[in-house]
Structure 1
């Protein structure tokens, strides 16, 4: 551990090492600290600090604070790398209950941010990001189409991509129709979300919230990614979890028609498929490649089940589809 550097740069002496998710960390004076590389621009980090400070001032006591160096910077340089330091008071770990309700509170606090968020914002960008991702994957697929597959993964990818391209186009069209048909309400303003919210992101860390996980987006992003995660985590037991989660969330913060439809478009978008293909071609590890091959096989075997899940999602989540006149995708309910 960089003990001397931490003392010289931040004035903090580590007392014991720990791990916080994928980050190295340490304990000092009843505080938990994590060190993280500066993955984005320094302006991006400054915006995250402003968001975190606002949420702390609004009453959230479980947020990691971005610590300043002794010279007032938000990062320090160590062996040619920019590192930032985050800290939070150590609390006794307790089981996390009513995660839907806690997420609603978190989103409601995020709606009150008093400054314009720019660097971390993903508001209104889904269509463009999905189209870009689809075009990139289509390029890879076309380069493989007229060659003999090198292995079983490539065979599955070549055969399955046209189906997932069609699904992606449906998700994009549903999103576009939503933006044309529905007027966003006040609760559809941007709030603090996560790059990828899951059932584990707070539970494992006893509700500690890491600003480095955040983006500024429509709250349906978190709701959709939590739902996707719990579906794949417990395929045959997800119904009660999803129903309870949305009941708890909506008790504090009901979704508008615009919000429900954004959420649904994101669930239809086959992010799980894109990630599997992308990670296979990125990794250099044979073990990881084998794992992604097995993952793709399972995804393809269960694609009809996921269609069925999408077809029943609105009913499962108790969405007021008649009251709000929310349309289905016809091919998912036939």
Structure 2
């Protein structure tokens, strides 16, 4: 926690652990020192988003603060860090999907378009870039010798990942001409990967990104797609979400497009890049691939399950 002295000159407090993160507690404020690879401008924009949410009574947001030297990002032993400051506040107990829908209702009111942390309207190009990077990674794996069981399985299944990604890119390309929007299809404060952060004691602004609300909805329900019994839960979640924040035709299509993209598999490959030889890596990847059977089945019936008439609404869906 020595980095804290770059933000607060005279520290006299205690270190506590909150949700696997260490925080320094001082005068009822919690200070989190987090590693970062992002620019000063990105953290400035997140400070603006966090301040806006505070004004809307989201008082649990941990927002970036400037160091004694006047910058958000500081250096220590050739590594970059940012400091987030927060206060604890009580918050109403409610179901997660209602909380997410209410957050989006507020977050969509942010009046500016961020420059450095916005990916709104950029899914196609971002996914094309991701595909290019992972295809290069795949070619590298082909040339490696010797290989572990995990690497061999990765090479064997990578064409499947590429095929799914190409489907997702094509789907987004097709809906780029969609005109059936509502006000909830504007850019919105969202999360890089939504995993129920709104249910936690603090909302960490370093995880903010500016995008369509469908981003968070997709990542919230994605884990249920792997489960044989997940279908009804997804239906109930989306029904509850729509009571507060109804989805347009475009919103449903974006949600579906993001679910087609195998982000969960790409994230796993990223996390496992230094664990080629571990048997646990192989077994976990094998299990994820096995669960794709449930995943594909739910995508196949996604609109029907949620009582969306694809013919009446002229919605495309995958036909596997």
TM range (shorter): 0.7 to 0.9
Match in the other structure for 1:216: 210
Aligned-residue offset at 1:70: 5.0
Give the 3 Å change call, closer, same or farther, for CA 63–146 of structure 1 in structure 2.
closer
Separation in 2 of the partners of 1:18 and 1:290? 34
Please say if residues 180 and 248 of structure 2, whose CA atoms lie closer than 8 Å, have aligned partners that are also in contact.
no
Which runs of at least 4 in structure 1 moved beyond 6 Å after TM superposition? 146-149
CA-atom RMSD, angstroms?
Answer: 2.7
The alignment partner of 1:10 has SS state of coil
Aligned-residue offset at 1:79: 4.9
Aligned-residue offset at 1:225: 0.9
Match in the other structure for 1:197: 194
1:163 to 160, 164, 172: 160
Give the aligned length: 320
Give the 3 Å change call, closer, same or farther, for CA 56–304 of structure 1 in structure 2.
same
The alignment partner of 1:64 has SS state of strand
Give the 3 Å change call, closer, same or farther, for CA 64–12 of structure 1 in structure 2.
farther
The alignment partner of 1:122 has SS state of coil
Match in the other structure for 1:283: 274
Give the 3 Å change call, closer, same or farther, for CA 79–133 of structure 1 in structure 2.
closer
User: Mean alpha-carbon deviation: is it higher for 45-54 or for 235-244?
Assistant: 235-244
Aligned-residue offset at 1:308: 0.3
Q: What TM-score, normalized to structure 2?
A: 0.88
Aligned-residue offset at 1:17: 1.2
Structure 1 portions without partners, runs of 5+:
none
Give the 3 Å change call, closer, same or farther, for CA 11–321 of structure 1 in structure 2.
farther
Separation in 1 of the partners of 2:258 and 2:32? 32
User: Mean alpha-carbon deviation: is it higher for 102-111 or for 61-70?
Assistant: 61-70
Q: What TM-score, normalized to structure 1?
A: 0.85
Match in the other structure for 1:267: 259
1:84-143 Cα deviation digits (max 9, x unpaired)? 32222224688x532111111211222111223111001122111212222222233344
Give the 3 Å change call, closer, same or farther, for CA 36–240 of structure 1 in structure 2.
same
Structure 2 portions without partners, runs of 5+:
none
Please say if residues 196 and 225 of structure 1, whose CA atoms lie closer than 8 Å, have aligned partners that are also in contact.
yes
User: Superposition pairs for residues 36-185 of structure 1, below 5 Å?
Assistant: 36-69=34-67, 72-79=70-77, 81-91=79-89, 96-145=93-142, 150-185=147-182
Give the 3 Å change call, closer, same or farther, for CA 277–79 of structure 1 in structure 2.
closer
Give the 3 Å change call, closer, same or farther, for CA 46–238 of structure 1 in structure 2.
same
Give the 3 Å change call, closer, same or farther, for CA 225–48 of structure 1 in structure 2.
same
Separation in 2 of the partners of 1:113 and 1:146? 48
Match in the other structure for 1:27: 25
Separation in 2 of the partners of 1:163 and 1:275? 15
2:284 to 282, 287, 295: 295
Match in the other structure for 1:309: 298
